[in-house]
Amino acid sequence: MSDATTEPQTGFSAFIAGFAMIMVSEMGDRTFLSNCVMAMKHDRKLVFFSAMSALALMAILSAILGYSLPALLSKKYTQYLAIVLFIFFGYRMIMEAKEMSHNQAEEELEEVNKQLIGGNDELHKLDELESGGYVVEPVKQTSGWINLVNYIFSPTFVQIFTITFLAEWGDRSQIGTIILAASSDYPINVILGTIIGHGICTALAVVCGKLLAQKISVKTVTFFGGCLFLLFGLYTLVEAVFFPEEE
């Protein structure tokens, strides 16, 4: 690992980088909006727990993948790869922001809502089948463990978990987590930063997502997100050139 006297990065800076990257990548994106729509139709605690389960799993898997890259490539080449990817995604986000309308969040919220209507109809059918088509009064108190299992494996939980996990696969937040973990000596801090960032974004989506979708400018958030990725690229470049890792 790197020498503490020559390595400018600290565990706290790795945490902040992961946290900031998630906040600018996830605020107002399609995962945020889908959680917002789901929270309007289902129990908010269930939506938050199922979405966060998927996001935390994705963060851990992405960080493990990123931290494993130096075992395949040298630290120097991993850093240069990170520089290229940070600059590429930063530039692409800025270009996307230029093409967005100012009411992008409201338009995408309506689109996501329409896409999820069909899935929710199927969920209602499954719920009716499970209950025999009518409301069944509980006849006895079940144990806490059984309630937890029923909660986790409910059709709604599975749907939200699956939608969130697949939406994040290949998303810029996943790529960003991989890059940060690959170029950092503190993958645990990156994981913690990204999970806390996801937690805040998901909580905002579940509690007041519709209001935020009407108020926030996805165009502005995306632009500053692109700038942040460019700053990450510049930081990694300075780190690679002036504070090289000793082989």
The per-residue pLDDT for range 165-182, each reduced to its tens digit, is 988 888 888 889 999 998
The Cβ-side half-sphere exposure at 100, using a 13 Å CA radius, reads 22
Grouping H, G, I as helix, E, B as strand and the rest as coil, residue 8 is coil
What is the pLDDT at residue 234? 92
How buried is residue 215: exposed, middle or buried, by Cβ count under 10 Å (0-12/13-18/19+)? exposed
pLDDT given for residue 125 in this prediction: 47
Q: What is the reported pLDDT for 110?
A: 63
20 pLDDT more than 90: yes
Half-sphere CA count of 108, side-chain side, radius 13 A = 24
Q: Is the pLDDT of residue 41 over 70?
A: yes
Q: What is the DSSP string of 118-138?
A: HHHHHHHHHHHHHTTTS----
Q: Which residue has the higher pLDDT, 151 or 160?
A: 160
The count of residues in the chain is 247
Residue 129 pLDDT exceeds 50: no
pLDDT given for residue 2 in this prediction: 46
pLDDT score, position 16:
94
| pLDDT (mean) for 28-55 | 86
pLDDT of amino acid 21: 92
Structure tokens at 101: 């309308």
Question: DSSP 3-state assignment of 69?
Answer: helix
Domain parsing of the chain, residue ranges: 11-131+145-242
pLDDT given at position 195: 97
| Of 67 and 112, the one with more pLDDT | 67
Instruction: Tell which wins on pLDDT, 131 or 77.
Output: 77
> What average pLDDT does range 127-132 have in this prediction?
44
Residue 50 in tokens:
């199922």
What pLDDT, in 10s, does the model give residues 205-230?
Answer: 888 766 766 676 778 888 888 898 89
Q: What is the mean pLDDT of residues 54-83?
A: 87
Q: What number of other Cβ atoms are within 10 A of residue 128's Cβ?
A: 12
**Residue position matching structure tokens 């994106």:** 29
